[in-house]
Structure 1
Amino acid sequence: MAPLRAEANVDTIVPDRYLVQLCKHFAPNTPAAYSEAEGRAEFEFGHCTLQAIGKGLMLVVEAEDESSLAQVQRLVSTYLEKSMWRERPTITWIRRG
């Protein structure tokens, strides 16, 4: 079975800053790799890839089942909202498959 996938594009003038900050936050507890342009965090229940594109941060999460996908989405959304508290981001997940 192909993994389930959801994407969100979050507007910000400093996507690279939040990409690095989010990956650094996850790194002590889960494998995470990143540069200023892209990153990836591997959780036990799924993974998230991040890409800084222009004035936005593209998030892609994948997991094997609905429950795990929702868990990755919640985790990434929660920490991104905390990091971006000044900007009050809108994170809208769109299912892709």
Structure 2
Amino acid sequence: MAIVATVPTAHASRYLQQLCKHWGHKFETAFDAEEGWIGFPMGPILLKADAEALTVRLEPKADADVGRFKQVVAEHLDRFAFREAPLPFDWAEG
């Protein structure tokens, strides 16, 4: 089961890269300006950026606390987006 949020922002690429660099010190990551992947302990995080939004896809492991997973990702992105935080995360199964 994947959980997806499309977050409207003109700074999607910046936030994608900041999150990947931030967690790259602890976890395996791969990213460029448009796509990112983070090998997070609760499950992989996939990111896609375009001119209007950042799409965040969480793929929680069976034993993951999904609520906490969503919270951790949203809180970190809000820190990078402090000028426009809180960002609207409308999580849905996808």
The reply to whether TM is greater than 0.5 is yes
1:43 partner SS: coil
Give the superposition deviation at 1:24: 0.6
Q: Deviation of residue 28 (structure 1)? A: 0.4
Instruction: Give the distance between the partners of 1:13 and 1:68, measured in 2 at CA.
Output: 30
What is the alpha-carbon distance in structure 1 between the residues aligned to residue 12 and residue 63 of structure 2? 28
Check whether the contact 1:10–1:56 (CA below 8 A) recurs between aligned residues. yes
Partner in structure 2 of residue 45 of structure 1: 42
TM superposition outliers: structure 1 runs of 4+ over 6 Å: none
> 2:60 corresponds to which residue?
63
Q: How far did 1:72 drift?
A: 2.5
Give distance in 1, aligned partners of 2:23 and 2:61: 20
Q: Distance in 2 between matches of 1:11 and 1:66?
A: 30
% same residue: 27
Alignment RMSD: 1.4
Alignment coverage as a number of residue pairs: 93
> Which residues of structure 2 form unaligned runs of 5+?
none
Is the strand fraction higher in 1 or 2? Answer: 1
Which ranges in structure 1 are unaligned for 5 or more consecutive residues? none
Aligned 8 A contact 2:45 2:57 in 1: yes
Q: Shift of the alpha carbon at 1:75?
A: 1.7
